[in-house]
Structure 1
């Protein structure tokens, strides 16, 4: 009985399988004319990089650099091991190497033996048939020897025509002719979401192609205030640095420069220097070997929502002038501390870094129009830029850290302090809202709500009349910044003299 049931069950299962299979076969047959068409339609929507790579892969080069270490004379004692990396010394100690007073690493001429040359590797791309190559500054920085590898297996010695650390751009020249040059596009026309391809030599694997989309434009990175990076999710790894980022037209729109990673490898966040900026820097580097930048002579900071409110603005937009350098271009143009710079020529300034980039991109001795907001009114000024060194291009002042609640005790400035700061009040102690906003003991309060402080009564009145946010200008450690203090109407206390 049991055996019969099993047979019946097996037969039923067989019938079911046969029916299902038949249905599947029928369905496959019915869909067969549609499936290939659907697959073809899906495939046609995906980008095809084959033509791009065929036409442009040969314009990408691999760059190998080496830096020769110097021999260091041994003077006995601990100096005998100078030049040997600490981890190697630790390893030798661990295995009982005899570091006694009589032991010496000196060579036959009394000098330390040469350490192996340090090698590095990156990418670049040819921009002119006579051998001009663009790459990153950090690829060739400190190199004693540069070797450029072409896709046709030829090698050339490279010479650095110029390099700029601020924008991480370098120009290298090789002695060659009739080279394939990359087509250069415009990073200004790049759209977020469009397909891009990166070609380079990650980990030394030459002419490797990866693809992705533009994830964002004008991306600010903490260490690079002069570069509005193009962010992509195209896979970029060590060795890709200096290589080109192409759009689907086969035009270079950026130079792959950095990745964000917690592991050292690609994590979907890569950043390219816009080609428009790179070409501008390239011209200076080829002509003079360095970049000529304009200098305004101000310390600026981005407006926070609290600061914007304290200045009567509905939107936090513009660069707040925290300090004006004496006899600078800004000083001569009558730019004042507390001004909010809204436009530099016809470029709208959204944040402090926008102004830094605009000024740095301008040439020294050129005249520009600056529109500022002062006491609630727009003022248009003309400024003739000075020449900047690498260290004095306008920078964004660091915001004070928040802590604490409300209230400051202040005292008048001494004669010596007045010579240094002019008018103002010295902060004896800070607590509550002031401390929370970052005001601390030792600060010198220079202005309240955009107006200079000339007396304690003036300061007290300004605090009493403030609504819910008050902007204080503070002198601290040689710099001047604005701090927005958020006031609670219920807890406004009379300031202590």
Structure 2
């Protein structure tokens, strides 16, 4: 029968050795756990001193906007609006009813309340210049800046730049005010720690922290700002506040969030301070902002377009349209060119190009590296001034009908009327009058689209359209340039 050893079965010296070994092992485990916790704690940033140093230069911005005249006119039961005189002739009981917040008739005149809003900002000069977002102060009749020491000072609006959503304020009677230290957003790296100070939902001087999630983000409403994306908690009221790095330098202006709920969902965007300071200096010195302008309509190069243009991988900005009289046209840029580099800086995404051009001084010459016909060429272009918003738009094409001709690819095309040729500023083309399921429909071509180019071959007439289509390769995707509502775009078709 096997012998079962118990503690009493060991000799005394051996027992003491065993106990000592167990105690040493336990101590080693505890030291290891506490050491790892200490290392983890030591690796996390401490924001306390940074917040103390910078809070005094961060401000709360409160705005008041007077109600617009006639914005809340009383509507009768039949929907007909009453004017002020007619409204005052009603019995007081009915006036009170129609003015009530629950009234289904639109509220009565003369009872509109001033609109108030709050945001954040920060002081960049000791004489009182403040940076914030344009949407924080847009339409404001009165602006009050509240400092960390609870001083409330009136401020005037120096200027705004809606394209970058920036505004510059000047604190009246500002003297020896606390200021932030301006950093360099171009030195930012994805993954580094950042923190924000602002007033979300009116809670003054709230501090939130996170990391840089991505750089150079392009948003649908902002073409000239390469946003910094972070996971720092930003909510309504944070807008216009500073984003700091761990050196205590401002490297961005918190501007927008991605949300489906109205609150923070882990994705926020900040204007890079390099771009913000350029806007600030122009507004301070000139009262307005001038940006560089190339004069092209561009689009992203996806995998199919890259294949059709002979690129090994998607990259660059595809020129869909060159505007008449623009710097790009004068430099010889053509639709179908793919801009691969701007002044030696690679253009990976189409969204990379507008900020590069926008920050270039007016009148300066830039060199473009362009892919054309499978070969890279260099073009020198003198950068112009970006027109006012809407100034670069073109009229949309009208509908046209004429003698139609059937064509393959599942669509019917017609000659393009001469008046449309002139209004669109093109050499010619064909207009799609009808389309059925097929390669053209799958490519996204629709009725009223004007086709000007297929597989890099110009199409100015029905005859040229047929010739180009008959010669299309059957083993790869081809590009199709169409003009839709006055704008050119490249589509990819697989015959």
TM-score (norm. length: structure 1): 0.81
Q: Take 2:291 and 2:47, find their aligned partners in 1: how far apart are those partners? A: 38
Q: Deviations 1:125-157 (Å, cap 9, x if unpaired)?
A: 111111111111111111100100111111110
Q: Take 1:76 and 1:414, find their aligned partners in 2: how far apart are those partners? A: 48
Q: Take 1:261 and 1:423, find their aligned partners in 2: how far apart are those partners? A: 45
Match of 1:117 in 2: 114
Which of 54, 64, 67 lines up with 1:66 in the alignment?
Answer: 64
Cα RMSD over matched residues? 3.0
Match of 1:465 in 2: 472
**Secondary structure of 1:283's aligned partner:** helix
Match of 1:109 in 2: none
Shift of 1:461: 4.1
Match of 1:322 in 2: 320
Match of 2:258 in 1: 260
Which of 444, 468, 476 lines up with 1:438 in the alignment?
Answer: 444
* Unaligned ranges ≥5, structure 2: 1-21, 88-94, 394-407
Query: Across the two proteins, how many residue pairs are aligned to each other?
Result: 440
Match of 1:133 in 2: 130
The reply on whether 1:429 has 2:437 as its aligned counterpart is no
Match of 2:348 in 1: 350
The reply on whether 1:409 has 2:443 as its aligned counterpart is no
Alpha-carbon spacing, 1:186–1:366, altered in 2? closer, same or farther (3 Å):
same
The reply on whether 1:221 has 2:219 as its aligned counterpart is yes
Shift of 1:120: 0.5
Deviant stretches of 4+, over 6 Å: 24-30, 73-77
Q: Take 1:90 and 1:321, find their aligned partners in 2: how far apart are those partners? A: 52
Q: Take 1:427 and 1:70, find their aligned partners in 2: how far apart are those partners? A: 47
Match of 2:267 in 1: 269
Q: Take 2:238 and 2:455, find their aligned partners in 1: how far apart are those partners? A: 49
Shift of 1:473: 1.2
Which of 86, 96, 103 lines up with 1:92 in the alignment?
Answer: 103
Match of 2:10 in 1: none
Match of 2:168 in 1: 171
Q: Take 1:412 and 1:149, find their aligned partners in 2: how far apart are those partners? A: 65
Residues 360 and 393, structure 1, Cα contact 8 Å, conserved in 2: no
Q: Take 1:290 and 1:327, find their aligned partners in 2: how far apart are those partners? A: 24
**Secondary structure of 2:320's aligned partner:** strand
Alpha-carbon spacing, 1:472–1:51, altered in 2? closer, same or farther (3 Å):
same
Q: Deviations 1:380-423 (Å, cap 9, x if unpaired)?
A: 1121222222325889xxxxxxxxx9432334334444545423
Q: Take 1:125 and 1:34, find their aligned partners in 2: how far apart are those partners? A: 45
Q: Deviations 1:77-114 (Å, cap 9, x if unpaired)?
A: 623489x9x996571359xxxx9xxxx96xxxxxx425
Alpha-carbon spacing, 1:70–1:391, altered in 2? closer, same or farther (3 Å):
closer
Q: Take 2:243 and 2:101, find their aligned partners in 1: how far apart are those partners? A: 43
* Unaligned ranges ≥5, structure 1: 1-23, 106-111, 396-404, 488-497
The reply on whether 1:337 has 2:335 as its aligned counterpart is yes
